[in-house]
């Protein structure tokens, strides 16, 4: 998945979603980046996408970058 700027989304990136929720990328199926908390084996059923944990604690899976505007925070 890529940001609106064309840059690749990576594990650990801080992001802002279209609804103004802010959070961190906790896994990226697209780049094969997973963690102990979010292991690859638990996400095998998906072939693409990323998961963002918002600062409020919600997990948001994004599979289609055209559906959701996604912005990297610096």
Tens of pLDDT, residue by residue over 7-64, are 899 999 999 998 899 999 999 999 999 999 999 999 999 999 999 999 999 999 998 7
For the cut 90, the answer to whether the pLDDT of residue 70 exceeds it is: no
Q: In what order do the strands lie in the sheet with 14-17?
A: 59-62, 50-54, 22-28, 14-17, 70-72
Is residue 8 in some structural domain? no
Decide if pLDDT at 73 tops 70: yes
Q: Residue 54's domain spans which residues?
A: 14-72
Note the pLDDT of residue 64. 75
Q: Note the pLDDT of residue 65.
A: 63
Cα 13–60–63 angle (5° rounding)?
85
Count: domains in the chain: 1
Is residue 9 assigned to a domain? no
Quick check: 13 and 19 in contact, CB under 8 A? no
3 occurs within a structural domain: no
What are the angstrom distances between the C-alpha of 15 and each of 1, 34, 60? 13, 17, 12
Q: Does residue 4 form part of some domain?
A: no
pLDDT higher than 70, residue 66: no
């Amino acid at each position: 998945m890529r940001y609106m700027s064309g840059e690749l989304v990576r594990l650990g990136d801080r992001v802002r979603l279209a609804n103004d929720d802010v959070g961190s990328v906790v896994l990226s199926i697209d780049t094969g980046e997973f963690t102990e908390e979010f292991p690859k084996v638990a996400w095998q059923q998906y072939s693409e996408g990323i998961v963002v944990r918002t600062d409020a604690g919600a997990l948001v899976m994004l599979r289609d970058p055209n559906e959701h505007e996604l912005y990297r925070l610096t």
